[in-house]
Structure 1
Amino acid sequence: MRLPNWQERFSDFGKARASMPFAWGSNDCCTFAAAAVEAITGKNPMSSVASYTTEIAAMRLVVAAAGLRALACEYLGSSVSPLMAGVGDVVLVENEGREMLAVCNGANVMAPSKLGMVALDMSAAKAAWRI
């Protein structure tokens, strides 16, 4: 359930992450999406996941879950069509041949990158999770 002031909290999340560079375990696609969910709901869906700091450790989580979509379903529930995604919802996108989680911000999705947050077109979305 979204908090009454979720729009303000989501805006603050975006401002805080705008220039934060990608980092495994603190600002990768999974932790980025989980932090957005926490901003909106007050609850981090990945709080039970052991911390990791390397790509290898992150990939172990994804492989153990049978893929990124399955991992997202494990923590966020069943996916829906990306056409149903609204602001603040988590989406699975493909970017440069690689799947990643991002967060819907209307016509775009936000995702972490080496230089900070980037916007990708919502047309790259393959699945979504309503928050």
Structure 2
Amino acid sequence: MIKNDSEIEDAYVIVVLNYNDDIQHLTARSAGVYETNDVINAFMDELNVDFSIPVSPGQYVIAKYAVSNANSIFTHMAHLGFPESFPLPDEWIHLLSTEPQTQVSIENIEEKLNINAAIAGAGINIIVINKVPLL
């Protein structure tokens, strides 16, 4: 978790990672796409994180971004058998969803901001919290 003290209002960035040693070691060697796909898909652990941050009273914007293998270009290409070139018409590649799943909300907080993150399999959650400035 990172708290940005340079802002006029409170701001936080929280990064939650779910992976294992096998996934981490993929970057240290020349693993092929099929082995990489097998290692990532074999990791099925779930991570649930719940904690509270003491904050000053006010409204907070909370943006949660979830990046997972489910909506990655890697998974789309795995489903196509990792072809040497993209086998579909060029305009179809823009139809493949690779954007992070996003949730944005505003919460009125008195003293503690409760944060939770849940990741099934390999993934990253990024949570950005900003206090809404008083007008």
What TM-score range do you get, normalising by the shorter chain?
under 0.3
TM-score, normalised via structure 2 length: 0.27
Higher relative contact order (CA 8 A, sep 6+): 2
TM-score, normalised via structure 1 length: 0.27
**Structure whose alpha-carbon radius of gyration is higher:** 2
Greater fraction of residues in helix = 1
Greater fraction of residues in strand = 2
